[in-house]
Structure 1
Amino acid sequence: MASALAFLVSLSCATSDPAAQPARAPRPAPVAAPIRARSTRSTRSTPAERQAALREIYAQLIAIDTTEARGSTTVAAQAMAARLTAAGLPAQDVQVLVHPDNPRKGNLVARLRGRGGKKPLLLLAHLDVVEALQKDWSPDLDPFKLTEKDGFFYGRGTSDDKAMAAIFVATLVRAKQEGFTPERDIIVALTADEEGGQQNGVAWLLANHRALVDAELGLNEGAGGRFRQGKRLFNGVQASEKVFQSFALEAHNKGGHSALPVKDNAIYRLAAALDRLGKFDFPVNLNEVTRGYFGRMASIEKGPMAAAMKAAAATPPDPAALAQLSTSAYYNALLRTTCVATQLSGGHAENALPQTARAVVNCRILPQESSADVQRTLAQVVADAEVSIAPLTAPQPSPPSPLTRTVMAPIEQITGALWPGVPVVPIMGTGATDSLYLRRAGIPMYGVSGLFSDIDDVRAHGKDERLGVTALYEGQEFLDRLVRALAGGS
């Protein structure tokens, strides 16, 4: 998110440079009571028991540092594997697969066996989280301790993406304990390096262990429910997403002594280029999904925003309406490609003129636009041949997942049962998720969670990340019902 949700813009904490922070040892897994093997006899649990079990898993995951700089998804994967085997899943169906290049990059793949009538259902969530530093959070909150306060759960990963990881583990545990036999196998994959790093778990599993995660379809992060001022607006289903692409902008100079400054300064040149970029907006470019989204949302929103959405969805869209929608970071990201400076460095000594100044600009490109076109636009905006622009990452566009009735009907039915009157709205993810690797491999993925959050208060990747207590437990019920509906069986 990456996600989100992974699909929303990162806040300042996400761009902290781990290398600039004092090193500390990885946090050990939290000490917990031994997990006892459960009886294989079918047992029904109450809603309160299911919520308590989920909270325990959730707290354990939050307490395990899984950041890129010093955390370990291997520790988290092993902890979840222990829970699943204790619930009665055979050891051969619960595997922790560690990337050969980094022992901290472990992935869990677990399988609940079904009747084999259909190809499996994949439940995907990432274990890694964005860096979080204690000093950046409120004094009474520890990023790596689940804190319940004022109706919210606080902690790094509470929304992105350990809520879904915990729910999927709890769902598999419940299914096993209750003797649920699905029509198809249910696979849970909890993976590494969605948020960055060199050992992306999904890409590695597809390349080296495809049979373990091969499925007919899957569920992942990428959307969720949205509310404003306590009122639920919609339950989102992400079926496509923007394309992640980073560029390096660099200015070079021969340097010299700082006592003899000249006007041609690499830092000033780069700063001027970034200033021009900061004032620029890519043109609005609606596609079928986003035009349909605004058309649908026009009947959900109220007042001027609803009118703006209706006018934006018209052909041609109204410029004033587009300008109004652009004041929202989320709506703006749906309207256009976005590029934003996220990292900055320059100079080599305080008493020397800088020889190099460098910025990383992260772009989220609309599916219908190309990386090459975006790079050309950046060059036009920067308007300085002395500032080089080079791609840092290769773009990985992915095909949209088909919104078939087989998938959409149960989502709509369960949404209507839990939240009467709340519509289901297909969306384009504004950020990148690991669904792209699976879509590219021919496995349709749907970003849907039933986890509702404030559309105007996005904290994923940022300070004091949180998820509502009620939202967690309602999301648990939604996903449990959805998994059973898509997996079939009894």
Structure 2
Amino acid sequence: MRSLVNLVLRFRFGGIVFAAAALAIAISTAGQAETTAPIDWDKLNSEALGYFRDFAKFDTTNPPSNTAVAIDYLKKLLDHEGIATETFESKPGMVSLVAKIPGPAGVKPMLLMSHADVVPAVGANWTHPPFGADLSDGYVWARGAIDDKAHGIMALMTMIALKRGNVPLRRGIELMVNPDEEAGGANGAEWMVKTHWDAIDPAFAFNEGGGGAPDWLGLRGTSFQIAVSEKRVMWLHLTLRGKGGHGSVPKPDNPNLVLVNALHRLLENQPPIRITPIIAQAMDTIAPLEPFPASFELSHLELSEMNKLAIAGVLSPYNIQALLRDTISLTMLNAGVKVNVVPTVAEASLDCRLLPGTDADAFLKRMRDLLGDERFTIDYLQHPDEAPPSPSSGEAWDAIKRAVEKNFKGALVVPWMTTGGTDSRFLRERGVPSYGFVPTILASGEIARVHGDDERLSVENLNRGIRTTYDLAIDLCAAKD
């Protein structure tokens, strides 16, 4: 500091006013240098790994989605850093956390979302205990490692790094961790949006639902599919009542037989292919990078013949084809009490996923026509939402592209839609652009572990995810010179 003052005094030719101004600038600059320290990424990553393993050890299986203890763990870490936190309990044990680093008044914040609940795991089928969070072969093995606890730690460490660095902000940043995502979110993100919107109210949000993949759809290198929308969840329960009787006397009105035949008609006649604008934009993006003839097929999907060729070839994976039509999956059957008794009631549950723009009433009418029996009753287990897609342009989208380019050189960024539902839909319904973006690279074999056995995430993915999330926050929230 003394050398800066001497420098100003030696250049007095501009007068006292000039010298005073120069001194003020020097002092201001020096003060910023003293308070904004560079990040020791090795130290931060090591710290994050410990937090990740601790967080993954909490059994937050849904049901019952008891996240209270896990959320309390995260809250204490944030409180220790001097970051403002607040918790919200929708039902006993179902606790959401909101943490904030405020920015200027009148400027809506950026929101980093994740969920703390996980799907059940059968420990006997795992190489490592599902809630042991073992570190082995460069991976953390745990239920929720990918879906979605590491993602939550990426957001946590971003908040901590910003706070410790005293980073000046032009926009505040928030973290929200919810329960109940794996059961539809009614007691988690949906409840927060409906009853505590004033606790978040962001300009845009970043959540799970999209990430990086190597050699995706035959492309060379890494591609990031950023979720700007998702198929709309429509869960249905079918009930058929009929005449029971003795199992030794086969009858055509056996409720089981009627149900099985009706389901066969329904499932063998899936709705037709429909290319949504999101998928069309994605295919237009990747078509020039594909070899012939895939490049030609993808750029002409509006032609039925090209459509068929692409589906038989480059678009043949089931998870891709599920994005080209509304889908109906049979997931549960229930009937009968004894082997020699024809039941009076047969039931089935269907997981239907609708594309953006599908008329839900028309979809349901088509289903009734295919079932072909007026005795069927159809009850909603979950109604499809009306959330609009988020834009694949603008401030948030451009920041995603810059963060990917900085940390994953040469990676392609593509707007995408997910087959599964996420909590993003509740914010999209409120008009908040929300993006599925988890900055990791997962091969198909690793993706298959999500909701399966031996779920795990590499330490390398965790570290790169933290750095990319931090860069995204700096891009969108840090004060500019």
TM range (shorter): 0.7 to 0.9
Provide TM-score, normalisation by structure 2: 0.85
Q: Which moved more, 1:231-240 or 1:383-392?
A: 383-392
Task: Evaluate the alpha carbon distance shift between residue 476 and residue 320 of structure 1 in structure 2; reply closer, same or farther with a 3 A threshold.
Answer: same
Q: Work out which of the residue numbers 366, 387, 390 in structure 2 matches 1:398.
A: 387
How far apart are the structure 1 equivalents of 2:302 and 2:41? Answer: 42
Counterpart for residue 25 of structure 1: none
State whether structure 2 residue 183 is matched by structure 1 residue 196. yes
- Residue from 67, 90, 94 that aligns with 2:85: 94
Are 1:356 and 2:345 counterparts?
yes
Deviation at residue 204 of structure 1 after TM alignment: 1.4
The one of 400, 420, 431 equivalent to 1:411 is: 400
Residue segments in structure 1 that go unaligned for 5+ positions in a row = 1-39
Return the alpha-carbon distance in structure 2 between the equivalents of residues 304 and 134 of structure 1.
46
Which consecutive segments of 4 or more residues in structure 1 shift more than 6 A?
none
8 Å contact from structure 2 (residues 243, 253) kept in 1? no
Aligned partner of 1:134 in structure 2 is 123
Number of the residue aligned with 2:44: 50
Q: Which structure's CA Rg is the greater one?
A: 2
Paired residue total: 444
Residue 482 of structure 1 aligns to a residue in which SS?
Answer: helix
The reply on whether 1:485 has 2:469 as its aligned counterpart is no
Matched, 1:375 2:369: no
1:331 match: 320
Provide Cα deviations, 1:9-60, integer angstroms capped at 9, x if missing partner. Answer: xxxxxxxxxxxxxxxxxxxxxxxxxxxxxxx976544221121122122112
Correspondent of 2:330 among 325, 337, 341: 341
> 1:346: Cα distance to partner?
1.2
**What CA distance in whole angstroms lies between the structure 2 residues aligned with 1:405 and 1:484?**
16
> In structure 1, how many angstroms separate the alpha carbons of the residues matched to 2:424 and 2:291?
33
Matches within 5 A, 1:463-474: 463-474=453-464
Higher mean displacement: 212-221 or 110-119? 110-119
CA distance in 2, matches of 1:132, 1:381: 36
Are the counterparts in 2 of residues 250 and 388 from structure 1 also a CA contact under 8 Å?
yes
Amino acid at match of 1:158: A
Aligned pairs for 1:49-198 within 5 A: 49-89=43-83, 93-99=84-90, 102-116=91-105, 118-135=107-124, 137-138=125-126, 140-196=127-183
Question: Structure 1 CA distance, aligned partners of 2:160 and 2:448?
Answer: 31
What SS class does the counterpart of residue 184 from structure 1 fall into?
coil
Q: CA RMSD in A?
A: 2.5
Corresponding position of 1:452? 441
Tell me the secondary structure at the aligned position of residue 426 of structure 1.
strand
The alpha-carbon distance between structure 1 residues 382 and 233, as it changes in their structure 2 partners (threshold 3 A), is farther
- Percent identical among aligned pairs is 28
CA distance in 1, matches of 2:247, 2:304: 57
1:462 maps to a residue whose letter is G
Residue 342 of structure 2 aligns to which amino acid in structure 1? L
User: Who is 1:36 aligned against?
Assistant: none
Give, as a single letter, the amino acid of the residue that structure 1 aligns with 2:403. Answer: I
In the aligned structure 2, how far is the partner of 1:418 from the partner of 1:182? 22
- Residue 197 of structure 1 deviates from its aligned partner by 5.8
Alpha-carbon distance, 1:441 to partner:
1.4
Distance in 2 of aligned mates of 1:59 and 1:300: 39
Q: 1:368 to 1:87 in 2, by over 3 A?
A: same
Shift of 1:331: 1.2
User: Which digits, 9 at most, give the CA deviation of each residue in 1:205-252, with x for residues without a partner?
Assistant: 222221111111111112111123996431122112211101112222
Q: Which residue in 1 is equivalent to 2:225? A: 236
SS at match of 1:119: coil
> Partner letter of residue 68 of structure 2?
T
Structure 2: which amino acid aligns with 1:360?
S
Find the counterpart in structure 2 of residue 30 from structure 1.
Answer: none
* Greater displacement, 225-234 / 279-288: 225-234
- The Cα shift of 1:127 comes to 1.1
Distance 1:371 1:437 in 2: 18
CA contact (8 A) 1:325 1:332 kept: no
What amino acid maps onto 1:190 in structure 2? V
Number of the residue aligned with 1:12:
none
Contact 2:354 2:384 in 1 (8 A): no
**Structure 2 counterparts to residues 241-280 of structure 1, below 5 A:** 241-280=230-269
In structure 2, distance between residues paired with 1:443 and 1:376 = 32
Amino acid at match of 2:425: L
Deviations 1:308-335 (A, max 9, x none): 4334366884322234355312210221
Structure 2 unaligned spans of 5+: 1-33
- Aligned residue for 2:103, secondary structure, equals coil
The normalised TM-score by structure 1 is 0.84
**Quick check: 1:120–1:215 contact (8 Å CA) kept in 2?**
yes
How far 1:266 sits from its partner (Å)? 1.7
Q: 1:48-81, CA deviations, whole angstroms, 9 ceiling, x for partnerless residues? A: 1121122122112211111222441111111100
Which residue is 1:24 aligned to? none
Aligned partner letter, 1:63: K
Please give the secondary structure, in 1, of the residue aligned with 2:117: coil
Q: Per-residue deviation at 1:449?
A: 2.0
Distance 1:274 1:66 in 2: 35
